[in-house]
Structure 1
Amino acid sequence: MLGNTLSVFENQLLDSIQEAEVVGLLQTLIQARSDFPPGDCQTAVTVIADKLKAADIPYHILANSTHQPNLVATLPGHAARPTLMYHAHIDTVAPGDPAAWQHPPFSGVVENGFIYGRGAGDDKSSVVAQIMSLVTLARAGVQLNGRFQVAVVADEESGAKQGTRWLRDNGHLQPDFLVVGEQTENQVAVAERVACGIDLTIFGKSTHGAMPWAGDNAIMKTARVLAWLEQKLWPQLAAKSHPYLPPATLNIGKISGGLQWNIVPASCKVEMDRRLLPGETRAAAMAEIERLLDEYNATVEPLQYELFSTGKVAPNINTSPEEPFVQCAQAALHSVTRQPQALTGYVQTSDGRWFAGDGLPIIIFGPSDPAVGHATDEHVSVTQLVEATKFLTVLALRWLSATPYTRKKGVSNGS
């Protein structure tokens, strides 16, 4: 059933989802620290494994690093394909100063309808909603026309080398349809921007700090260059648009230069975060900056610089809103919330990017506001958490009950 109303059986399924159980699992998971550094996820993964054991759901622990295990749980269906995979990361960032928190960061306190703690939003609420949707279907004895998997991964916050990238590269994750759990406030996101790190080093001339006129202060020159880029580049980026995403951006994240206070600095390094929209490339973003730097050199003052970018830049998630999987998700969300929901985009960057070049339909969905992730007093609404669990239950039931496996790779997603 792909309509906007719930069937009798769907209502029965959703009635079986108990708020206390869902909230309790998230509280326990928050209390199982998995913050990076060091990113040790063993205790947190054990919490999920225990829940799956109790529901008699098969799972595998897969690890390239002992302290960063991943878990993949499977609800087998009548057929091996298609595979619908839900995916969320169980590691978190560090809490910062615990004294700055309203509640201890690993307490999982519930207050005024919100659950507080590191990972409450990013990303343990998505882990819980996905796992509880799997548990709900397993308890009901549902037999699906395909394989339903939930991947609980480590190492998202530090590059995914021990998590999603390792799992995918070694054939452990092979979805045909993918839901990535991240904070979208329970809206279906069909696109995201990807991060591209760019480093700019500007060179000057060193001399004694008492004689600045005899040198060329690289830090001062960098300040002038950045002001130039703000004037010239920022409007160009703001003009780049996407129907579901904010414009392209460039963030000046870190500046370092000089040797000590009484030496005119000979160099200054700027580390920048360029967020690419679907259709943009690293090469084009670099060329855009380089043209402006060359213009500065030709029209403002002599400029010697180096511009480079390292690290892997994955393709963007950019799933068509006409994709049947997206439409099924929208209908399921409408059924659960009892009102139509607009599509959106994910402002940040998710582990879904490692699958974006595979040609499969990908959506991003999860409870909580992305602005509270990584923040002091991180929290998630109990209402959103339970609603997400219900939506994910209905989506899996509908998609793997009503849709034959006819999707052709390479036609639904890309940048």
Structure 2
Amino acid sequence: MDIINHVENLKEDIIEGLKKFISINSVNPRGGGPGEKEVAEYLESYMKTMKFDEIKRYDAPDDAVKYGFRPNIVALYKGKKPKRTIWFITHMDKVPAGDLSLWETDPFTPVVKDGKIFGRGAEDNGSSLIATLFGLKTIMDLNIRPENNIGLVFVSDEETGSDYGIKYLLKQGIFNKNDWYYVPDSGNDEGSFIEIAEKSILWLKIITEGKQAHAATPNVARNAHRAAIYFAKELDEFLHEKYNAIDKMFGRVPISTFEPTKKEYNVDNINTIPGTDILYFDCRILPQYDLSEILDDINKIKEKYEIKFDVKINIETPQIEKAPAPTQPDHPMVIKLKESLKELRNIDAFVGGIGGGTCAAILRHENLPAVVWGTMDHTAHQPNEYIKIAHLISDTKVYAHLMRNL
């Protein structure tokens, strides 16, 4: 096949493209990073060497970054007789590296070893971003014009709610209800899983206010840290016990999850009782559950511990997204992807759901059909994140084949 051979010829360029992406620190500003400006400039510069009919920047104003905006790139390759635009949407931001002592290499210095490319953003979302870019480059190089328009969208802010990314673009009138939307941001290690549904997301920021004092005089203090520990323990147990349904559509994790995650600084020294304590939960909740009911339960437990420890507990929700209706499993865009996977890999792909958090859920909230796919080992957000080169190249072939036949 001409496209298969051409992707093989581009293999070293594809690898170098991903290494360049990894090497640019585009950690989300809400995670303490510089944002996406530098990586957007690199991508935009490279895209200008390709045969796009249109490349546009949509900069979302954001005072959290020194340059005052978050970039989004929308590029179009026009079809011969387009009935719609087929969009491929990936994100430029990354999560922080985390504990550097757990990394075997520098997170932003890409390393090729044992058939893998290591570095922050290798899997999430660099591999799919580069694979869609070079998939489209392949059909451009071969002077192939598909029937429909092919659009590439590189967004900011996917890791912290997408206010400055896909949500901003939805307000610009770019997308059409007749269009299709592929979001390469999850999958399995065989490439056989197509995501058509996501759970609800509920992030909790729990701020406990007591009274600071010397650790030797606890009778003077109101220990915010102790109150937070006891509250978090009961909250963790209660939520898992009450909201314990199983939904086999969400195969790998078929339950609601309620995970205590981040813990903020409280005091510098061991011999001070903290007057303020801040911790977080990341909850991914099956669509059948009502988020308002869950929040009501949380507030009832909160009141119990406010009285018990004579503290004030404030609950904030940095992110809250009700699960939208799933994309239909027999939608033509699902069928087209299944056909490409069968032809290229002899895979009989299946559909299901994930924990949530991709741009696809946001699109589905607007009644836009979105599908998530990719081949990956689920190393996202972990130390020593990687993508297998074989997966990177194979996915590029799938995207090129899919784009050609849309």
Query: What TM bracket, shorter-length normalisation?
Result: 0.7 to 0.9
Query: Does the aligned pair in 2 maintain the 1:255–1:271 contact within 8 Å?
Result: yes
Query: Does the aligned pair in 2 maintain the 1:182–1:367 contact within 8 Å?
Result: no
Q: Which runs of 5+ in 1 are unaligned?
A: 1-10, 401-415
Give, in angstroms, the shift of residue 184 of structure 1: 1.9
Query: Does the aligned pair in 2 maintain the 1:178–1:361 contact within 8 Å?
Result: yes
Among 5, 11, 18, the residue aligned to 1:15? 5
The more displaced of 373-382 and 247-256 is 247-256
Among 39, 45, 51, the residue aligned to 2:40? 45
- Deviation per residue, 1:139-177 (Å, 9 max, x gap): 233333322101012232344333222222222344621
Q: Kindly provide the amino acid, as one letter, of the partner of residue 330 in structure 1.
A: K
Give, in angstroms, the shift of residue 130 of structure 1: 0.8
3-state SS of 2:70 partner? coil
Among 24, 39, 49, the residue aligned to 1:54? 49
Q: How many residues align structurally?
A: 386
Structure 1 residue 243 corresponds to structure 2 residue 245: no
Aligned runs of 1:171-320 on 2, under 5 Å? 171-174=173-176, 176-185=179-188, 186=191, 187-201=193-207, 210=216, 212=218, 217-245=223-251, 246=253, 247-254=255-262, 268-291=277-300, 306=313, 308-311=315-318, 313-316=320-323, 318-320=326-328
In structure 2, the CA distance between the partners of 1:123 and 1:206, relative to structure 1 (3 Å rule), is closer
Aligned runs of 1:122-141 on 2, under 5 Å? 122-141=124-143
Query: Does the aligned pair in 2 maintain the 1:368–1:384 contact within 8 Å?
Result: yes
- Give me the whole-angstrom Cα distance separating, in 1, the residues matched to 2:112 and 2:240: 42
In structure 2, the CA distance between the partners of 1:133 and 1:161, relative to structure 1 (3 Å rule), is same
In structure 2, the CA distance between the partners of 1:169 and 1:257, relative to structure 1 (3 Å rule), is same
- Give me the whole-angstrom Cα distance separating, in 2, the residues matched to 1:194 and 1:232: 18
In structure 2, the CA distance between the partners of 1:134 and 1:281, relative to structure 1 (3 Å rule), is farther
Structure 1 residue 391 corresponds to structure 2 residue 398: yes
- Give me the whole-angstrom Cα distance separating, in 1, the residues matched to 2:232 and 2:101: 36
The more displaced of 152-161 and 264-273 is 264-273
Higher radius of gyration, 1 or 2:
1
Give, in angstroms, the shift of residue 112 of structure 1: 1.6
Query: Does the aligned pair in 1 maintain the 2:72–2:165 contact within 8 Å?
Result: yes
- Give me the whole-angstrom Cα distance separating, in 1, the residues matched to 2:396 and 2:347: 17
Q: Kindly provide the amino acid, as one letter, of the partner of residue 27 in structure 2.
A: D
- Deviation per residue, 1:336-381 (Å, 9 max, x gap): 21122333433351122321211122111223333x2233222100
- Deviation per residue, 1:217-244 (Å, 9 max, x gap): 4543443333333443312233253512
- Give me the whole-angstrom Cα distance separating, in 2, the residues matched to 1:22 and 1:306: 50
Query: Does the aligned pair in 2 maintain the 1:237–1:249 contact within 8 Å?
Result: no
Q: TM-score, normalised by structure 1?
A: 0.79
Q: TM-score, normalised by structure 2?
A: 0.81
- Give me the whole-angstrom Cα distance separating, in 1, the residues matched to 2:76 and 2:147: 13
- Give me the whole-angstrom Cα distance separating, in 2, the residues matched to 1:375 and 1:29: 18
Give, in angstroms, the shift of residue 334 of structure 1: 2.2
Equivalent in the alignment of 2:64: none
- Deviation per residue, 1:76-99 (Å, 9 max, x gap): 113453221100012223335667
- Give me the whole-angstrom Cα distance separating, in 2, the residues matched to 1:269 and 1:96: 19
Among 14, 22, 31, the residue aligned to 2:23? 31
In structure 2, the CA distance between the partners of 1:208 and 1:72, relative to structure 1 (3 Å rule), is closer
3-state SS of 2:169 partner? helix
Give, in angstroms, the shift of residue 324 of structure 1: 2.9
Equivalent in the alignment of 2:87: 85
Q: Kindly provide the amino acid, as one letter, of the partner of residue 106 in structure 1.
A: F
Query: Does the aligned pair in 2 maintain the 1:180–1:351 contact within 8 Å?
Result: yes
Equivalent in the alignment of 1:74: 76
The more displaced of 155-164 and 94-103 is 94-103
Q: Kindly provide the amino acid, as one letter, of the partner of residue 105 in structure 2.
A: H
Give, in angstroms, the shift of residue 113 of structure 1: 0.9
- Give me the whole-angstrom Cα distance separating, in 1, the residues matched to 2:168 and 2:60: 7
The more displaced of 183-192 and 257-266 is 257-266
- Give me the whole-angstrom Cα distance separating, in 2, the residues matched to 1:255 and 1:219: 11
In structure 2, the CA distance between the partners of 1:25 and 1:270, relative to structure 1 (3 Å rule), is closer
The more displaced of 13-22 and 193-202 is 193-202
In structure 2, the CA distance between the partners of 1:15 and 1:281, relative to structure 1 (3 Å rule), is farther
- Give me the whole-angstrom Cα distance separating, in 1, the residues matched to 2:234 and 2:100: 40
Q: Kindly provide the amino acid, as one letter, of the partner of residue 48 in structure 1.
A: L
Q: Kindly provide the amino acid, as one letter, of the partner of residue 116 in structure 1.
A: F
